[in-house]
């Protein structure tokens, strides 16, 4: 008789990662965007079912946190699986775009100040 965890999984997360506890790369943050490579590389080794699920979900760009939620897996496990796919050339990853301004928008700040003054 097989007994799963409370989430209904029959395979423990450490088994999905081959016992690995840390990703081999630091490319993935919660808001990094992942996309499957189309068409896939010619020399592709057979991947496990979780890798295939990730590739299906990444047909369109998706954030790492969203992938973890859709897969019902811890983010740390998803990051390890994503490293496997990235190293195999099956996905691309884009870091979050940082919006930085060197000078504040003075017009916006004045509008906020004026709005607060009316309160």
Question: What are residue 44's phi and psi, to 5 degrees?
Answer: -115, 125
pLDDT of residue 91: 94
Res 5 pLDDT > 60: no
Of how many residues is the chain composed? 119
SS3 62: strand
Inter-residue contact 57 to 71 (CB < 8 Å): yes
Token pair of 50, please? 């979780």
- State mean pLDDT over 26-48: 83
SS3 57: helix
Inter-residue contact 94 to 88 (CB < 8 Å): no
Token pair of 67, please? 């992938």
Inter-residue contact 50 to 71 (CB < 8 Å): yes
> How far apart are the C-alpha atoms of 37 and 91, rounded to whole Å?
5
Residue range 92-118, pLDDT digits in tens: 999 887 666 667 778 888 888 888 877
């Amino acid at each position: 008789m097989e007994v799963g965890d409370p989430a209904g999984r029959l395979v423990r997360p450490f088994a999905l990662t081959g016992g690995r506890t840390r990703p081999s790369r630091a490319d993935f943050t919660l808001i990094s965007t992942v996309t499957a490579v189309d068409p896939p590389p010619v020399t592709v080794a057979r991947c496990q079912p979780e890798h295939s699920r990730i590739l299906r979900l990444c047909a369109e760009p998706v954030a790492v946190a969203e992938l973890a939620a859709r897969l019902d897996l811890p983010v740390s496990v998803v990051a390890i699986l994503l490293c496997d796919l990235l190293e195999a050339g099956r996905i691309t990853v884009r870091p979050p775009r940082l919006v930085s301004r060197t000078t504040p928008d003075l017009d916006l700040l004045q509008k906020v100040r004026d709005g607060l003054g009316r309160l």
